[in-house]
Structure 1
Amino acid sequence: MLDKTIYKQIFKASFNAPIDVEFWDGEQVSYGTGEPIAKIILHEVIPIKDIMSHASLTFGEAYMDGKIEIQGNLQKLVNTVYSSKESFLNNSKFSKLIPKHAHTEKISKADVQSHYDIGNDFYEMWLDPTMTYSCAYFASEDDSLEDAQWNKVRHILNKLHTKPGETVLDIGCGWGTLMFIAAKEYNLEATGVTLSQEQYDFVSHKIEAEGLQDRVHVYLKDYRELEQTYDHVTSVGMFEHVGKENLEEYFMQVKNRLVDNGTALIHGITGQHDGAGVDAWINKYIFPGGYIPNIAENIGHIMTSSMQIDDVEPLRRHYQKTLEIWTENFHHVSEEVISKYGERFYRMWDLYLQACAASFESGNIDVVQYLLTKGPSGTKLPMTRSYIYNADIAHNVK
C-alpha cells in the first residue's frame, strides 16, 4: 500500500481551517477542529514530484480532470490555502517551476485571442449587460453588478478630470463600455485598441449601430503600434497581459501616447507585497503569458517613464465581490456551458473564478488604480481629491 505520509504532511501544512480529506483507498482524515469548510476527495494518486514542482498546475489539472472532487465552498477552501504561510502555494519547499514566456506582438496577439476569442456568446452567458470583464466599483453594498460596472467607468473618467471635446485612448478596450460612456456622457472623442477579433467585431458593430463613427474609433492592433497622442489614456485590466519583461515599455508607451500634462488612469491586478507573479495553472489554461507585478514594480516603471503619480487607490474587496457575482452567474448557466464546451472546460472556469475570488479575499493579490500625469503632478487636476467624489455624485455613481 502506498505510504500517504507526505500527502498528509502537505494537507496539514496547507490549511488554516478545518477540512476533511478522503484518499483514493477510502481512508478519511480530518484536519483542524470544528465544522469542516469543505471535503477534498482524491480519486487517484497524484504524483508527489508533480506536487513539489508544479503545485497549482498539478492540483488545477487534477480538479479539471475529476481526479479531485471538492464538496463544500471551493472559494473558502482556496482562501485558506492562500492564508496559510506553510501551504504548498506559499512555501518554497512546495514551490512551482514557472516557464518564461516571450511577448512579441505576434505572441501577445495569440495569447489574448486564446482567452477573449472563446466567443462573445460565452462571456454573454455570465457577464452583466455592459459586457465588462474587469473589477467593478461598488459604491454601495446594494449595487447590482451592472450598476457597479457603470460606477467603475465613471469613477475612472471622473479621476481623469476630462473636459468636453478632449480625446481619450483606451488601451485594451475590451467590449468598449468605457469608450461609449466617454463619448455619450462626457462628450469625449474615444479611441480603443484590442488584439481580440471578437471584441473588435463587437465594438465595430456597436459603433455603427449607435451612429458614433465620429466620436468612437476602434483598432485591431497592438498598443505598441500607436503613434498619435491623446489628452487622456486609460487602460483597464491590461498590464497583467504584457509580461514582466515588457512592463517598462508598457508604461513608456502610456507616457508617449499622452500630450504634455495629460492624465492617465491605469487599473490592474497588483501584488501588495511580493506579488503573485505567474501562476503555472492560470498561465497554461487561462491567461497565457500573464504576469501580475507587485506595486513596487509598477511604481518603479512609472518613475522610469518620468510620469508622476497623483493618486493610488486599491480596490481589492471590489474585485472579490465582482468575482463572487460572476461565479454565481456562471453556476446559473452551468448546464449550458457544459453542453457547449464540456465538463472539463466548465470545471476549469469554475476553479479559475473561485480561486481568483479567494486570492483577493486572502490579500494575496489586489487591484489598484494609478492616476498618473505626464508633467508636474496635478498640473491639470484640482488641489484635493474631492473633485473625484463630487463628479461621481454628479454622474450618478451610486
Structure 2
Amino acid sequence: MLEKKTYDKLLGHAFDIPVKVDYWDGTSEVYGEGTPQAEIEIRKAIPLKDLTSLPTLTLGEAYMNGDIEVNGDLQELVASAYRSVNSFVTDNSEFLKYLPKISHSEKNSKEDVQSHYDIGNDFYRLWLDKTMTYSCAYFRHEDDTLEQAQENKVRHVLTKLNPEPNKTLVDIGCGWGSLLFMAAEEFNLKATGITLSQEQYDQVKEEIKTRGLEGQVDVYLEDYREVEEKFDYATSIGMFEHVGKENLPKYFEQVQKLLVPNGRALIHGITGQHEGVGTDPFLAKYIFSGGYIPNVAENLTNIMNAGLQLTDLEPLRRHYQKTLETWYQNYAQHLDTVVERYGEPFSRMWALYLQACAASFEAGNIDVMQYLLVNGTSGYDLPMTRSYMYENS
C-alpha cells in the first residue's frame, strides 16, 4: 500500500489551490498555503502503482465507488490539478504502456457509439435541452438559455456554409437531428443524416413524420464510410473524436469524397491544444470507448492531405465550458432519478465526467474548433469577409 509520505509527495504538488486531505486512518493534512478551498476524503488506501501509472482512471473509479469524496467545488479542484504543471494527474504518458490497440472497424465503431448514446433517450432528456443537442452550445448572449444557445450553434454552423436554397447537405453523426430540421425549415436545404445510434435514428425518423418533412429530410443508420452519394454541403459536429487516431485520415478523406467540387464542409469537434496523448483512460473505459482527441496540428495535416482547403477556423472553448456547467446543473437536479434507474456508481461516474470535462476546458488543455473547409480553391463562393457569419446568424 501507498505510504503516507508518498501521498505527501504526490499531493503536495497536485493542485495550485490549498486543499485539505482527510486520510483513511483519521489523520489530515493541508497542502498549499492559505485556507483550504476544497476537502478530499480518502476513505481507502490506493496502491502506488495504480495511482502513478493510471491516475485519472484510478481516482475516477475511487470516486465512482465512494472510496474518495470531495467536499467543495469538484470542477475547480480538477481544474486546479490541470493547471498545476507538477501534478501527477496531468502526466498520463505511462498510460501508453497500458492502452490496448483500439479497433475502429465499422463493427467496432457501431459498438462504441451505441455503448454511449444508446443508454437511452430518457437518460439524456433528464439534462439536455428540448432540442436534445449533445455538443457544444454557442452563447451569443450571457443570459441565453441552453436551448437558445444550442439553436444559436446550429444556426452558426449552417450560416458559415453560406448555403443556397434547395441544395443538398449531409450531417455526419447527426445526433437527434436538430441540425437536419433547421437546415430544412430555415435554410430550405435537402438534408440527410448519418448515425450509428439506433436510439437517435428512431427518434429522427419519428420527428421527420411529426414535422411533415418526408422527402426533404432523411436519416440512415449506417457507417459514414459507407455513404457514396455526393452533397453540396457537409456538417459533422462532435464526430471526429469518435473515429480513432488511425482513422482520422480516412475521416477527412471521406468528407472530401462526399462533397461535390467546391462543396463546403463545417467540421466541429474537440481538439487538444498541446502535443500529448489524446486519450484519457477513465473516459476510454467508462464514457467514450474508442475515443481519441486530436490536436489542432494533427487535424490540419489530415485536412490538407485529404485535398481540402481550410478557409476559417474558430475556437469555442469557453462556450463548451459553459455548456458543460449548464448540463451538470441540470443533471444535479435529477440525481435521485439517475441513482434509482442506474445505480450510485453510474450516477457518480457521470457527475464526475461532466465536471471534469468542464474543468479541462476551463484549464485550457482542450478546446473545441470549427473548421470551415472547401473541396476546391478556398473562398471563391464565400463573401470576402467573415462578417456574414455573424450578421446572418
- Whether the TM-score (by the shorter chain) exceeds 0.5 is yes
Separation of aligned partners in 2, 1:276 and 1:139: 32
Which aligned pairs between 1:160-179 and structure 2 lie closer than 5 A? 160-179=161-180
Cα pair 2:168 2:190 within 8 Å, conserved: yes
Separation of aligned partners in 2, 1:294 and 1:44: 36
Which aligned pairs between 1:41-190 and structure 2 lie closer than 5 A? 41-91=41-91, 97-190=98-191
Q: Secondary structure at the match of 1:212?
A: coil
Q: Secondary structure at the match of 2:392?
A: helix
- Cα gap change, 1:276 to 1:356, in 2 (>3 Å): farther
Separation of aligned partners in 2, 1:352 and 1:93: 21
Separation of aligned partners in 1, 2:140 and 2:315: 14
Shift of 1:95: 5.5
The answer to whether 1:203 aligns with 2:210 is no
Query: Which amino acid in the other structure matches residue 146 of structure 2?
Result: L
Separation of aligned partners in 2, 1:74 and 1:187: 44
**Which whole-Å deviations, capped at 9, do the CAs of 1:203-223 have from their partners, x for residues lacking one?**
000001111011100000000
**Which whole-Å deviations, capped at 9, do the CAs of 1:162-211 have from their partners, x for residues lacking one?**
01101110000000000000000100000000000000000000001111
Q: Which runs of 4+ in 1 moved over 2 A?
A: 89-100
Cα pair 1:275 1:365 within 8 Å, conserved: no
Query: Which amino acid in the other structure matches residue 332 of structure 1?
Result: Q
The range that moved more, 30-39 or 308-317, is 30-39
Separation of aligned partners in 1, 2:277 and 2:36: 28
**Which whole-Å deviations, capped at 9, do the CAs of 1:24-52 have from their partners, x for residues lacking one?**
10110001122322111011011111012
The answer for the alignment partner of 1:279 in structure 2 is 280
Query: Which amino acid in the other structure matches residue 158 of structure 1?
Result: T
Cα pair 1:50 1:58 within 8 Å, conserved: yes
The answer for the alignment partner of 2:295 in structure 1 is 294
Shift of 1:93: 7.8
TM-score of the superposed pair, with normalisation by structure 1: 0.97
Cα pair 2:279 2:292 within 8 Å, conserved: yes
Cα pair 1:98 1:279 within 8 Å, conserved: no
Shift of 1:276: 5.4
Cα pair 1:85 1:91 within 8 Å, conserved: no
Shift of 1:306: 1.1
Which aligned pairs between 1:243-258 and structure 2 lie closer than 5 A? 243-258=244-259
Q: Secondary structure at the match of 1:186?
A: coil
Identity of aligned residues (%): 59
Give the root-mean-square deviation of aligned CA atoms.
1.2
User: Structure 2: where are the runs of 5+ without partners?
Assistant: none
TM-score of the superposed pair, with normalisation by structure 2: 0.98
User: How many residues were matched structurally?
Assistant: 392
Query: Which amino acid in the other structure matches residue 55 of structure 1?
Result: P
Separation of aligned partners in 2, 1:182 and 1:287: 28
Separation of aligned partners in 2, 1:37 and 1:312: 37
Query: Which amino acid in the other structure matches residue 9 of structure 2?
Result: Q
User: Structure 1: where are the runs of 5+ without partners?
Assistant: 393-398
Separation of aligned partners in 2, 1:185 and 1:57: 44
Shift of 1:3: 2.8
Query: Which amino acid in the other structure matches residue 289 of structure 2?
Result: P
The answer for the alignment partner of 1:262 in structure 2 is 263
Separation of aligned partners in 1, 2:222 and 2:3: 54
Cα pair 2:93 2:277 within 8 Å, conserved: no
Shift of 1:89: 2.3
Separation of aligned partners in 2, 1:105 and 1:95: 26
Separation of aligned partners in 2, 1:274 and 1:67: 32
The answer to whether 1:390 aligns with 2:391 is yes
Cα pair 2:65 2:345 within 8 Å, conserved: yes
Cα pair 1:117 1:196 within 8 Å, conserved: yes
Query: Which amino acid in the other structure matches residue 313 of structure 1?
Result: E
Separation of aligned partners in 1, 2:391 and 2:358: 31
Q: Secondary structure at the match of 2:192?
A: strand
**Which whole-Å deviations, capped at 9, do the CAs of 1:220-269 have from their partners, x for residues lacking one?**
00000000010000000000000000000000000000000000000000
Separation of aligned partners in 2, 1:257 and 1:349: 35
Separation of aligned partners in 1, 2:59 and 2:297: 30
